Structure 1
Amino acid sequence: MAKKAATEHMALCFSVLLICLWSMLPLDAASLCYIFTVGKSGSGPWQHKVQGQLNEETFLSYNSINNCHVFGVLGIRLNATKICDKQVDTLKDGADLIKQQVIRMNNIIREPLTLQAKMHCWHDGDGHFNASWDIGLNGQKILHFDSSTGKLTEVGPGSSWIKELWEEDRHVTAFLTVTSQGDCRSWLQEVTLHLGKKLQPTASPTATPHVDQPPSSLAIKPNISVLLIFITCSLLLLM
């Protein structure tokens, strides 16, 4: 009987330990980004498109004819929120603003230009909200914009004149700040809440050579419940 009781006790302890370990596994991080692409082919008109991504999964597309639609499993779930109706005006304003900057740049350097601007927002380990923009020209990252400071930073060589050109227009930096700190924050919250996900912190994005590769990561959010579960497990194992 004593041997059977000991076996049952060990089995219980093992089950409880598995539950404890499972409770401390990383949770999905919430990372939202919108990639604006502006360019043209030959002597044709300037074209733009925008892609919305949650944790690297594309769910929204907006194009030059003001056509916004959602797709995929994620898009279908978000369609109930009328997400396009809520975001289309901001996406249009952003695409128009970036297109204006490309045209200004094209007046200085006469060559085919394709500009990408990626707005990204996330929460870091302490729950603090962060947002930024990465600007790329013809596939090369050239500028980084920190939304908390409102400062543009040169990333690629020979991009100082582009930085100065963008900084001359205060409307540009104001739009980058307001959109990433305001719109992106509210969209991130609405999307994650609608999908039934708790807003979990994620590590800050690392620098990448291409702006069309939004970063994502997994992170553990410390909380008191995990600590209590761990203490309970420890006591049960000592019984």
Structure 2
Amino acid sequence: MAYAVGAALVLGVLAQLPPLVLLSSPAGLLQDGTFGTHSLCYDFTVSLQPAPGQQWCTVQAQVDRKTFLSYNCGVDKVKTLSALGEEVNATVTWQEQNTALRDMGQMLRQQLADIKAENPRARGLNTLEGRMSCQLKSHGSTNGSWQIGFNGQMWLHFNSHNRRWTEVHPGSDWMKKIWQNDREVTEFLHKSSKGDCRAWLEKFLVQRKAELEPTGPSSNSPKTVFHKFIAIMCISLALSLWIIDLI
């Protein structure tokens, strides 16, 4: 009986509190959407002899697995694929990126040309696909990597942390040796995924945080803190009455 009366009283008090108090995020969870692990990746497709109507290099950019724009390295043209892409395309950060991405595309294309010229087994490889990605975790650590493939199939994985190459496609050991023995290319891939990619992701998240900053009252304002205190006390009272009923 005491529990039923107390529960009704508690529900009545909670009903008078703002919904924001009851649904507010726990400590450490930001309202701006930047909590947790975030990722940024660029999918390159390069060709030595593109088909009519195709370009020698295209790049698709994704943040948190959402594609937001496509970049044509050959004509230096950006195609936005979402509202987010339009916002990013207008930033100084993107203007810094397109030159770097073009350089990466040229490096990959030259690598494909050299491999085809020096290795008979690579004669049938017409396109090279590369995925550069980086992750920024909530505690500040970062990961970077590259995946390298040919003709639509992934062959190799490069871990930027330890500069280690791993076979993904069976029988690609010969290709792995070509890439890991090229110190200049390995260093380029390391710096681009651990340096450039990370810097772009951090700038992107800073901008995103500013755009999504809530305009309503702060969750730490005196009024909000008082409402949270009342909610906690009401819930504690309900639990106490429930325990008394059980006894």
Alignment TM class, shorter chain as reference: 0.7 to 0.9
Q: Cα distance 1:179–1:130, how it changes in 2: closer, same or farther (>3 A)?
A: same
Of the three residues 84, 97, 101, the one matched with 2:94 is 84
Q: Which residue of 2 aligns with 1:38?
A: 46
Shift of 1:19: 5.0
Q: Which residue of 2 aligns with 1:237?
A: 235
Q: Cα distance 1:153–1:197, how it changes in 2: closer, same or farther (>3 A)?
A: farther
Q: Which residue of 1 aligns with 2:188?
A: 175
* Most deviating of 173-182 and 120-129: 120-129
- Aligned-pair identity in percent equals 35
User: Whole-Å Cα distance in 1 between the matches of residues 169 and 96 of structure 2?
Assistant: 34
Partner SS, residue 145 of structure 1: strand
Structure 1: tracts of 5 or more residues without a match: 199-229
Partner SS, residue 169 of structure 2: coil
Q: Which residue of 2 aligns with 1:65?
A: 74
Number of aligned positions between the proteins: 208
Shift of 1:89: 2.0
User: Whole-Å Cα distance in 2 between the matches of residues 7 and 53 of structure 1?
Assistant: 50
* Most deviating of 62-71 and 183-192: 62-71
Query: Which entry has the higher C-alpha Rg, 1 or 2?
Result: 2
Partner SS, residue 122 of structure 1: strand
User: Whole-Å Cα distance in 2 between the matches of residues 4 and 43 of structure 1?
Assistant: 78
1:41–1:112 CA contact under 8 A, matched in 2: no
Q: Which residue of 1 aligns with 2:214?
A: none
Shift of 1:56: 2.2
Counterpart check, 1:75 vs 2:99: no
Q: Cα distance 1:11–1:114, how it changes in 2: closer, same or farther (>3 A)?
A: farther
Partner SS, residue 86 of structure 1: helix
Q: Whose helix fraction is larger, Structure 1's or Structure 2's?
A: 2
Q: Which residue of 1 aligns with 2:207?
A: 194
User: Whole-Å Cα distance in 2 between the matches of residues 106 and 43 of structure 1?
Assistant: 21
Shift of 1:113: 2.0
User: Whole-Å Cα distance in 2 between the matches of residues 22 and 124 of structure 1?
Assistant: 22
Under a length normalisation based on structure 2, what TM-score does the superposition of the two structures give? 0.70
Under a length normalisation based on structure 1, what TM-score does the superposition of the two structures give? 0.72
Q: Cα distance 1:28–1:168, how it changes in 2: closer, same or farther (>3 A)?
A: closer
1:34–1:120 CA contact under 8 A, matched in 2: yes
Instruction: Write the mapping of 1:87-102 to structure 2, written as runs, cut at 5 A.
Output: 87-102=97-112
Q: Cα distance 1:92–1:78, how it changes in 2: closer, same or farther (>3 A)?
A: same
User: Whole-Å Cα distance in 1 between the matches of residues 45 and 115 of structure 2?
Assistant: 15
Q: Cα distance 1:41–1:81, how it changes in 2: closer, same or farther (>3 A)?
A: closer
Structure 2: tracts of 5 or more residues without a match: 212-227, 238-247
Superposed structure 1 runs of 4+ greater than 3 Å apart: 2-6, 11-22, 24-29, 40-46, 124-127, 230-236
What does the per-residue CA deviation read over 1:16-40, in whole Å, with 9 as the maximum and x for residues that have no partner?
A: 9995665248957421101111123
Q: Cα distance 1:45–1:7, how it changes in 2: closer, same or farther (>3 A)?
A: closer
Letter in 1 for 2:99: D
CA RMSD of aligned residues (A): 3.6
Letter in 2 for 1:134: Q
Instruction: Write the mapping of 1:205-216 to structure 2, written as runs, cut at 5 A.
Output: none
User: Whole-Å Cα distance in 1 between the matches of residues 158 and 22 of structure 2?
Assistant: 41
User: Whole-Å Cα distance in 2 between the matches of residues 197 and 153 of structure 1?
Assistant: 39
Q: Cα distance 1:64–1:237, how it changes in 2: closer, same or farther (>3 A)?
A: closer
